Structure 1
Amino acid sequence: MSRRTSWHSTVLKRIPGGRDGRRMLLVSIIDKTGTGLWAGCTVLYFTYVSGLGLGQVGLLMTVSGGVGIAGAPIAGRLADRFPLVRLIAGAQLVRGGALLALLTTDNFLLLTLYSALGALPDRAGSVLIKLYAARQAGPDRVRYQAIQRTTVNIGWSIGGLGAAAALATGSTRAYALLLVGNVVTYLVIAVLTLRCAEPPAPSRIAATSRTAEGRAPVSPASPWRDRTFLAYTATDAALFLDDTILQVAVPLWIVHATTAPVGMAPLLLVLNTVLVVLFQVPLARFGATSRAARRLLVPLTGLFVVGTLALAASAAGGRALAITALVAAVVAFTFAEIIHATASWELSVALAPAEAQGAYLGVHGLAQSTQRFAGPLLVTGVISAGALAWPLLGLGLVAAGAAQHRVIRDRLAEPSLSVPTVTVSEH
């Protein structure tokens, strides 16, 4: 065996989750390559191709995000009862169909309807992938999630570069080609997902064990009656706002408030993804335990302050200042994304009892779904209000981080509720 082959095999063996875990990482990179083609120009498509105004774009994103809220808890409940692999594949096919429908109309109501239909499986798919990682990687979930986010952002980088090249042509046809490219990736990953083996589900393992021992089934805990978990989810919704700021606010801010070139929008998303690729895995070790993850909330809120101040500064001068400040803002929000991804991943799983893991993570999925619903309306409101509104938003995010830091303190002092170690065989 050559040195290169030996090194390659060693690296692959270090990835938690075995062969199917590695296959799901391939699914993630293809998925995000397609999404990267489309995400950086979504609001620009609605602006320049569909002819929607700023308020209409904000409303469309808000409505579709609102419908998507239901996807997370529905997916969590289904995942405790049905095969996870099939649910993931089905969600990808529905996402592709809804996205393709955008090409058929410029009508605002129909565009909103199709966007909403696509948001439902989009949010469901995110929760299902998270559950797959938790079940397949077992106690190595934090490292697996970090690797998974790295591969995701490699895909984002590839897709973002493709989007930048397409938009550089100045043709409106480029938007349609980018959309179709994303749809093709959904079809590919649906096929690849079906080749993955079904990981063991703690809820079904517990139920089978109790049945074999002749014990009565136990009603699983309900996240809807867990006040601490609901409060944690509510504060996490605010901390997920970096997603909307990077994908919605920054492109619109460039167009409506700065002198920076419009083509900078997808390039800034590339910068975001490259930084995640470089730093997600190395920084994951700082959130490998629930208490360490809680401590990350302090630097997280500081990064939000820096990012919002930089966005405000980007509208204060000429093109050079605008470009510099926008880069600084994206760097700050990217490190906020990295830190929050690590903290949120560990805390959401640690706070969830094993017998209701799907239901709990489904409810936690409401955090990101809620910010996708309210986030676009919020940031378009900030853009309309002007540069001084950005620092106020930063202070609001500091308050959310402080509240979360306090609300989970007592729960983390109790015995861990995270999933037990599960032995996962390679298939």
Structure 2
Amino acid sequence: MSRTTSWHSAVSERIPGGRDGRRMLVVSIIDKTGTGLWAGCAVLYFTYVSGLGLGQVGLLMTVSGGVGIAGSPLAGRLADRYPLVTIIVGAQLMRGAALLLLLTTDNLLLLTLYSALGALPDRAGSVLIKLYAARLAGRDRVRYQAIQRTTVNIGWSIGGLGAAAALATGSTRAYGLLLIGNVLTYVVIAALTLRCAEPPAPSRVAATSTTSPAPATTGEPAPSRPTSPWRDRTFLGYTATDAALFLDDTILQVAVPLWIVHATSAPVGLAPLLLVLNTVLVVIFQVPLARFGATTKAARRLLVPLAGLFLTGTLALAASAAGGTALAVTALVVAVVALTFAEIIHATASWELSVALAPAHAQGAYLGVHGIAQSAQRFAGPLLVTGVMAAGALAWPVLGLGLVAAGAAQHRLIRDRLTQPSPSPSLSVAKVTVSEH
């Protein structure tokens, strides 16, 4: 065997899903590089180019964020009915088209409409990639998602640095160029996605299996599960508690910078450094720690240390306001480290548990509903954490205890579901989603 062949074999073993898995990772890093170019200057674009006021920008972001919540369940339903690759490509092109439309008007109503149209496929993106990973990587889906998340953070960093360099010119023209740069990345990733093979869909395999002979019975009736996630109380409860556990994102991205400015004596320049620390830790530890959630039982066990990390992080945030620059800086670093590891662990557990709780015949619909958890958190999270900050330092431990309660409720809620046997061995998620690569 040649050295080149050996190298390719080694890469394939490290990245689940073979060539298509690697290709989709390239899609992710290009996607997030483009998003990083635009996300950091979107609000500034609406302010300096479109001429909107602060209240108008807030209204636009709120409305588009609320509409975007529907993107996840809609994408999930479509993914159970149509080829996944086609839906991903359609979402990518829709994102690009909606973004281009922003260049055509300064009207608040139209800008809000176009932003909302772009938010739908944008929020659907994470669900579609999770579905692709679950169908392509099979039993290695947690590791694949960890690798994918690492590439996402790298892409965000590259795009953010590019945006910072462009905006340093001080020209309003830079905002339009960054927008167009993001649109071009959507065109590139759509072309790359078309080269990816369509993974086996559990819903189609499940439908086919209904024509095959029924499995031998053991005298015990097969457990009955709802056919729709909207009628599945256990899954809806899991999604609700997961929305709370996604709050680490808003705390790190929104609350920490504002808390530094308004409640501590730490230097303002610490805020971007802490965000860099968060990104670096995710890039370094997301993949190695994924092995601790590689099975469904292991993923459920991660909810215990997750609760401890949330409590540590919120206590540290409270301590950072106690006085003194040294204490503030130290406590803030501890808080960000604890909350970043909470982010890493929760991502690992959530990937596995959301797929494990979804029946094979409706995997897309279930994961689409679960996607609401993160979208809802992004929509309501900023209002919640700013309310906590307004209440004072002691409100942080209260929020921490609330997150501990959410984790405990989820741990108890999903216990019985995860111990039930599958209704039919032929519909097992693991058997259906094992990659053929």
TM-score (norm 2): 0.84
Aligned-pair CA distance for 1:58? 5.6
Aligned to 1:221: 227
Which of residues 342, 354, 358 in structure 1 aligns to 2:348?
Answer: 342
Deviations 1:56-96 (A, max 9, x none): 66654443222111111111110011111111111112222
Contact 1:157 1:269 in 2 (8 A): no
Q: Decide which moves more: 295-304 or 247-256.
A: 247-256
Aligned-pair CA distance for 1:328? 3.3
Aligned to 2:155: 155
Equivalences for residues 103-182 of structure 1 within 5 A: 110-166=110-166, 175-182=175-182
Equivalent AA in structure 2 for residue 131 of structure 1: L
Contact 2:290 2:348 in 1 (8 A): yes
Deviations 1:315-335 (A, max 9, x none): 555666555544433322221
Contact 1:73 1:359 in 2 (8 A): yes
Aligned-pair CA distance for 1:156? 2.2
Equivalences for residues 214-363 of structure 1 within 5 A: 221-254=227-260, 265-315=271-321, 317=323, 323-363=329-369
Aligned to 1:189: 189
- The alpha-carbon distance between structure 1 residues 376 and 114, as it changes in their structure 2 partners (threshold 3 A), is farther
- The alpha-carbon distance between structure 1 residues 177 and 274, as it changes in their structure 2 partners (threshold 3 A), is farther
What is the aligned-residue RMSD (CA, Å)?
3.3
Contact 1:316 1:322 in 2 (8 A): yes
Partners in 2 of 1:59 and 1:355 — Cα distance?
A: 39
Aligned to 1:87: 87
Aligned-pair CA distance for 1:15? 1.5
Equivalent AA in structure 1 for residue 429 of structure 2: V
Partners in 2 of 1:255 and 1:175 — Cα distance?
A: 27
State which structure, 1 or 2, has the greater radius of gyration over its C-alpha atoms.
2
Partners in 2 of 1:384 and 1:368 — Cα distance?
A: 24
Deviations 1:348-391 (A, max 9, x none): 11111111111111111111121122112223333444444333
Question: Which sections of structure 1, spanning at least 5 residues, go unmatched?
Answer: none
Contact 2:235 2:357 in 1 (8 A): yes
SS at match of 2:431: coil
Aligned to 2:431: 421
Partners in 2 of 1:97 and 1:318 — Cα distance?
A: 50
Contact 1:164 1:267 in 2 (8 A): no
Partners in 1 of 2:175 and 2:261 — Cα distance?
A: 17
Partners in 2 of 1:387 and 1:281 — Cα distance?
A: 34
Partners in 1 of 2:156 and 2:63 — Cα distance?
A: 25
Deviations 1:281-322 (A, max 9, x none): 111111111111111112112222233334444555566655
Aligned-pair CA distance for 1:5? 7.2
Aligned to 2:397: 391
Contact 2:89 2:190 in 1 (8 A): yes
Percent identity (aligned)? 85
Partners in 2 of 1:60 and 1:419 — Cα distance?
A: 40
Partners in 2 of 1:343 and 1:22 — Cα distance?
A: 23
SS at match of 1:420: helix
Aligned to 1:23: 23
Contact 2:140 2:294 in 1 (8 A): no
Aligned-pair CA distance for 1:403? 1.0
Equivalences for residues 203-214 of structure 1 within 5 A: 203-211=203-211
- The alpha-carbon distance between structure 1 residues 341 and 94, as it changes in their structure 2 partners (threshold 3 A), is same
Aligned to 2:199: 199
- The alpha-carbon distance between structure 1 residues 116 and 276, as it changes in their structure 2 partners (threshold 3 A), is same
Contact 2:226 2:232 in 1 (8 A): no
- The alpha-carbon distance between structure 1 residues 63 and 204, as it changes in their structure 2 partners (threshold 3 A), is same
Partners in 1 of 2:378 and 2:90 — Cα distance?
A: 22
Aligned-pair CA distance for 1:249? 3.2
SS at match of 2:341: helix
- The alpha-carbon distance between structure 1 residues 272 and 173, as it changes in their structure 2 partners (threshold 3 A), is farther
Aligned to 1:364: 370
